[in-house]
Structure 1
Amino acid sequence: MKRFDWYDTIHGLDAEADCLRIVQILGAHEFPWDLEQALGLALYRTYAVPSIGELLGRTREFTDRPQHRYDDTALILSEMVEHGFETGRGRDALRRMNQMHRSYTISNGDYLYVLSTFVVMPVRWLNDLGFGWRRLSDHEIAASTNYYRGLGRHMGIKDIPADYAGFRAYFESYEAEHFAYSEGGRRTSDATLDIMVGFYPRWQRPLIRPFTMGLLDDRLVEAFRYDRPSRFWRAASPGAVRLRARIVRFMPPREKPRWARMNPNIRSYPDGFHPSRIGTFPQGCPVPHDLATVDAPAEGARVPAPGQAADAASGGPASGGPDR
């Protein structure tokens, strides 16, 4: 397989009818690491909107159960990409996400902003910042936009933009109007940075936080009231990621897909998981009848007891356990 074979495959597909397949190729073959980073930063940005940051702070999921919260988010989003929205595990992941969200009062504006970060941040990472081993084409951006428009419809979001330009405009205007400091947002940000640092060997950890801060734009840094990164980190962090991109460009293409469940940083479910059995079950949220749960930090919420996340009908790893 040659380096640009996946690119050619994508451009033989339709950006609307085949948007799921295109997103699968981009996420699992062409840019698995890059899109993990971009989508992680997309979610991280949302903490700077006080209504979102305060809600996350009240649930205490990121501060008290950060590894589970990280894993649940990554796995649910990945299951929908891997399997689609219509049947099986993808449909179950979508239903689980909607159940959790509908247990809280969240405005359509906040929903739409979060959706816009999923559309905009991969393009910013790969194209605008030059962090990808190649740029996304207009065709690929259109396909990704169509995929997330479909996700938004399945979430019941209203007034979804028709194209990437509309999402970008909404993203920029919402941040300009709503970004501000909140205690809950800052606590959630600190907890997220702590778990990211913990993914690396101990000797690297003193460098990871300033390295990460060097990748954050001023608007985000100011919203969390962090000290601005030094000029060194402002240059070194993006420079290192761009150097990685140049190296990756000369590597062979990834023939086998890499999904989130294969990521060694996903650690909460060593015996496997089913998307209907992970995440939190806030008060009033339906719980599978055979799922044993324990109290979670959030008021009235419960989470699966240890060993309960795997599908009882099919067992552990076969139901989606790590495939290293």
Structure 2
Amino acid sequence: MAQAAGSLSEAHPRSTAGGAIVCYILLCHALRFRRTNKKLASYPYRTRADYRNMTTQHAFEIQKYLFELEFPFTTNKALEFALFRTYGIPSISRLLVATKQLSTPDRAPKRYVDTVVLIGEFMSFPPDSERANAGIARMNYLHSMYQASGKISNADLLYTLALFALEPRRWIDRCEWRKLTDLECCAFGTFWKSIGEAMEISYEEMQSAGTGWTDGLHWLEDLEEWADEYEKKCMVPDAANKKTADETTNILLWDVPKALNPAAYKVVSSLMDDRLRKAMMWVIRPTDWALADCDAVFQTNVERGIRLRAFLLRHFALPRPQFMKFQRIAEEPNKSGKTHLLEWVAEPWYIEPTFANRWGPKAWLKWMAGRPYPTPGKYGSEGYDLQRVGPATFEGKGLSEAEKTKSKLMAQGRGGCPFAFGGNS
């Protein structure tokens, strides 16, 4: 009797703990899917036929929700990889090497941050806002100098646009706790089609350009087919690809200790497909089969790690609360009218040297690693003036041209539906 009572008393805590775990998992599921379903149900797009009416404003809101709350880590890495993937195209990487942008260690960090700033402005603020349109206008001016000389083609711009539209979906479907819905994919297509139009990118090369697209999802699928064919023709090995990719990888792995760099480079390589890896000239063909097997095992383990993270998030992680949303750009300018970044990757460009930024854990880690940290008077610590962002050769130039472009975009009321009133061509 005593033994039986002891067994029951031991079993009771175990069953209670097991029940608590099951209840917690069910709670995680309920809260995660409840928030997603509630968010998407707030928009009037119930069927595929409704998608053609999606506005750019709604597409922006859905995408921003995914980037800030639902999948912030993965979408941020996807955008970094989208920029990285463009360097597999020689016509793009050769220009960067020729201008020494993103191919030399003294210029690459700032050039990388400036790109983040310009894209971040129109991804972080509504499509009909001054900030979003000022970011597009400045970007258009910087591109126009190279377009006029034939150094940037429409195909290169369309391909770059395609990667920013497609990579987040690919990374989410591969790495996250759930896949995107058709409505969310439609939002990506609607938003980026509108951005392409604001950049005056022609879609004539796409298959359905003649007949038009029914909605953002149709446009996104057509863009994916075009981008795949473009890569087959243009993504080829080139020394400029490797030079630019190596320097960008150094930025992405800025905080990784040198002793761990070989493993970190393998992680980056394992995230590439064979086509990109060959174009970057990162392909290693060892004669030692044991080494080849080791690399295969490493890549398999990376994939397992991705699946494990997705499993843990799905079953054991509560949804990210609003106050913890990922935010890279300050919502309001400072007293001098400039804007600060809230997060930095490599050098702390445009980071406000507050007490927390200078003396917090991240700053101490940077200091111990011999890396720069926010310092008054250095790395644009006063913030950035959007109309002056870009390479030093364009400092203070193009202000009137960008202002005219911004005014033109503002007059278009870019928050509407890009597939209505003949806007599907």
One-letter amino acid of the structure 1 residue matched with residue 390 of structure 2: G
* Contact 1:24–1:81 (CA under 8 A) maintained in structure 2: yes
Give yes or no for contact 2:88–2:235 (8 Å, CA) kept in 1.
yes
CA shift in 2, pair 1:67/1:5, >3 Å: farther
Q: Deviations over 1:170-190 (max 9, x none)?
A: 111000011112222211001
8 Å CA contact retained: 1:131, 1:241: yes
| 3-state secondary structure, aligned to 1:136 | coil
**CA RMSD, aligned part only?**
2.3
Q: Is the 8 A contact 2:388 2:397 kept in 1?
A: no
Question: Where in structure 2 are the equivalents of 1:91-240 lying within 5 Å?
Answer: 91-105=133-147, 106-127=152-173, 130-159=174-203, 162=213, 163-202=219-258, 204-228=260-284, 230-240=295-305
**Which deviations, in whole Å up to 9, do the C-alpha atoms of 1:156-179 show, x marking residues without a partner?**
001175422101101110000111
Equivalenced residue count is 287
Q: Aligned residue for 2:318?
A: 252
Aligned-pair distance for 1:253?
A: 1.9
Instruction: Note the C-alpha offset of 1:99.
Output: 1.3
Q: Identity across aligned pairs (percent)?
A: 27
How much does 1:288 deviate? 5.4
Structure 1: how far apart are the matches of 2:299 and 2:108? Answer: 27
Does 2:60 match 1:20? yes
Q: Secondary structure at the match of 2:31?
A: coil
**TM-score of the superposition, structure 2-length normalised?**
0.63
Matches within 5 A, 1:43-82: 43-64=83-104, 65-82=107-124
Q: Which has the higher helix share?
A: 2
Q: Secondary structure at the match of 1:253?
A: coil
Per-residue deviation, residues 86-124 of structure 1 (Å, max 9, x unmatched): 322222211111111111131111111111111221222
1:2-22 CA-partner distances (Å, limit 9, x unpaired): 323442203432562211111
- State the distance in 2 between where 1:112 and 1:87 align: 24
- State the TM-score, normalized to the length of structure 1: 0.81
Please say which of residues 181-190 and 166-175 is displaced more in the overlay: 181-190
In the superposition, relative to structure 1, how do residues 6 and 148 fare at CA in structure 2: closer, same or farther (>3 Å)? farther
Name 2:345's counterpart in structure 1: 265
**Structure 2 counterpart of 1:2:** 31
76 and 5 in structure 1: CA distance in 2 versus 1, 3 angstrom threshold? farther
Distance across 2 between alignment mates of 1:154 and 1:183: 33
Q: Give structure 2 stretches of 5+ with no counterpart.
A: 1-29, 46-50, 207-212, 214-218, 285-291, 330-341, 352-380, 401-425
Are 1:100 and 1:281, in contact at CA under 8 Å, matched by a contact in 2? Answer: no
- Contact 1:28–1:258 (CA<8 Å) still a contact in 2? yes
Question: Aligned in 2, Cα 1:253/1:201: closer, same or farther, shift over 3 Å?
Answer: farther
Which residue type is aligned with residue 77 of structure 1? I
Q: Cα 1:284–1:252, aligned 2, differ >3 Å: closer, same or farther? A: closer
Q: Does the 8 A contact of 1:84 with 1:91 survive in 2?
A: no
Task: Choose the corresponding residue for 2:71, options 26, 31, 35.
Answer: 31
List, as ranges, runs of 4+ consecutive aligned residues in structure 1 with deviation greater than 6 Å.
Answer: none
Q: Does 1:86 align with 2:137?
A: no
Q: Deviations over 1:39-64 (max 9, x none)?
A: 11111111111111111111211123
Q: Separation in 2 of the partners of 1:102 and 1:125?
A: 31
The answer as to whether partners of 1:56 and 1:188 remain within 8 angstroms in 2 is yes
Larger radius of gyration: 2
Counterpart selection for 2:390 from 243, 257, 279: 279
Give the whole-Å Cα distance in 2 for the aligned partners of 1:252 and 1:37: 21
| Partner in structure 2 of residue 316 of structure 1 | none
CA drift of 1:152 comes to 0.2
Amino acid at match of 1:82: S
Partner of 2:411 in structure 1? none
- What does the per-residue CA deviation read over 1:203-243, in whole Å, with 9 as the maximum and x for residues that have no partner? 54342111111111111111122124820222122222222
Deviation at 1:201, TM superposition (A): 4.5
Counterparts of 2:261 and 2:138, CA distance in 1: 34
Supply the AA of the counterpart residue of 2:110: H
Alignment CA distance shift 1:235-1:89 (3 Å): same
Q: Is the 8 A contact 1:212 1:237 kept in 2?
A: no
Gaps of 5+ in 1: 290-324
AA aligned to 1:74 is V
Quick one: distance in 1 between partners of 2:302 and 2:233? 28
User: What is the identity, as a one-letter code, of the residue corresponding to 1:10?
Assistant: L
